[in-house]
C-alpha cells in the first residue's frame, strides 16, 4: 500500500515525463511512465505483425510478452523479452500507431492492472499518462493536469528530437500533436481529461524547473494539510 501517489496527466509533449521524473527524484519516489507501456505494447504488436484492430491478439501480446521498464538518466528504458527497445518505442510510426492500443478497452484494463500492481509494491510513486488521475489512481493523494499550447508543445518536441531522424517541419510536428490530442480526448475509454479534483497547470510560459518547483510546493502543501 503506497503512502503517496502523485498523478500527472496531460496531452502529448506537455512535459509530463520530464517533470514527473524530476519530481519523483525530489520526493524520493518511484516514477512510472505509462506512455512507455502503451508504446512498448504497440511495438511488440508491430513486430509480431499483428492486426492492430484485432482486440484478442493485442491482449495476447500484453499477456505473453515480458515487458521491463526501468528509470534511466533522462528516460525510461524498456525491454521486450529481454531486448532493449528504448529507442525504438519513440519511432514516429510507433507514436502514431499507439492510438490503436490506447483505444482498446481490454488492453487498457490490463495495463491499468499492471500500473496498480507497480504502485502497490512501492511506498511513493509519481505516475504520468492520460488516465492516471481519472482511472488508474482515482484516489491519488495529489493530481496534476499539465497543459501548454500546441505551438509551444511542438517546439519542445522538435527540440527533444534534436534533428535526429527528424525531417519534419515544426508545422508538421504541431499537426501531429493536434491529431494525437483529438484521438486522446475522443477515446471512449480512459480519455484525456483532467480529473475533477486535479490541479491544472499551464506550462506554456514556464521552464521545466519552474514547473517542478511549483508541483513540489503543491505536493508539500497538500501533504501537510492531510496530516
Q: Which is nearer to ligand DC, 161 or 223 (CB)?
A: 161
Q: Give the binding site for ligand DC (CB under 6 A).
A: 12, 34-35, 38-39, 98-99, 102, 129-132, 180, 184, 190
CA 198, chain centre distance (Å): 16
Could you tell me how many residues make up the chain?
Answer: 227
Q: Which is nearer to ligand DC, 130 or 143 (CB)?
A: 130
Q: Which is nearer to ligand DC, 152 or 184 (CB)?
A: 184
Question: Rounded to a whole number, what is the distance in angstroms from the first to the last CA of the chain?
Answer: 18
Q: Which is nearer to ligand DC, 2 or 127 (CB)?
A: 127
CA 173, chain centre distance (Å): 18
Give me the least distance between CB of 224 and ligand DC, in Å please. 29
Give me the least distance between CB of 28 and ligand DC, in Å please. 23
Give me the least distance between CB of 8 and ligand DC, in Å please. 10
The DSSP line for 7-40 is EEE-STTSSHHHHHHHHHHHHT-EEEEHHHHHHH
**Helical H segments across the chain, by residue range:** 16-27, 34-47, 55-64, 92-102, 105-120, 150-161, 170-186, 208-225
Find the helix packing angle between 55-64 and 34-47, rounded to 10°: 110
Q: Which is nearer to ligand DC, 2 or 7 (CB)?
A: 7
Strand-strand pairing, 124-129 and 30-33? parallel
Amino acid at each position: 500500500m503506497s503512502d503517496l501517489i502523485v498523478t500527472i496527466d496531460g496531452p502529448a509533449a506537455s512535459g509530463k515525463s520530464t517533470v514527473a521524473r524530476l519530481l519523483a527524484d525530489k520526493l524520493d519516489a518511484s516514477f512510472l511512465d505509462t506512455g512507455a507501456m502503451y508504446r512498448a505494447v504497440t511495438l511488440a504488436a508491430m513486430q509480431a505483425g499483428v492486426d492492430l484492430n484485432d482486440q484478442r491478439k493485442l491482449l495476447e501480446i500484453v499477456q505473453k510478452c515480458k515487458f521491463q521498464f526501468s528509470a534511466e538518466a533522462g528516460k525510461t528504458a524498456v525491454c521486450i523479452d529481454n531486448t532493449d527497445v528504448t529507442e525504438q518505442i519513440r519511432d514516429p510510426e510507433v507514436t502514431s500507431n499507439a492510438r490503436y492500443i490506447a483505444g482498446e478497452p481490454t488492453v487498457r484494463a490490463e495495463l491499468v492492472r499492471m500500473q496498480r500492481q507497480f504502485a502497490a509494491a512501492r511506498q511513493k510513486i509519481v505516475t504520468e499518462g492520460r488516465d492516471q488521475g481519472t482511472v488508474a489512481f482515482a484516489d491519488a493523494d495529489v493530481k496534476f493536469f499539465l497543459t501548454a499550447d500546441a505551438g509551444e508543445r511542438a517546439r519542445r518536441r522538435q527540440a527533444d528530437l534534436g534533428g535526429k531522424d527528424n525531417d519534419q517541419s515544426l508545422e508538421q510536428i504541431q499537426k501531429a500533436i493536434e491529431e494525437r490530442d483529438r484521438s486522446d480526448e475522443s477515446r471512449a475509454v480512459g480519455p484525456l481529461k483532467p480529473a475533477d479534483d486535479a490541479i491544472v497547470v499551464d506550462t506554456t510560459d514556464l521552464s521545466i524547473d519552474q514547473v517542478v518547483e511549483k508541483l513540489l510546493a503543491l505536493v508539500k502543501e497538500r501533504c501537510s494539510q492531510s496530516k
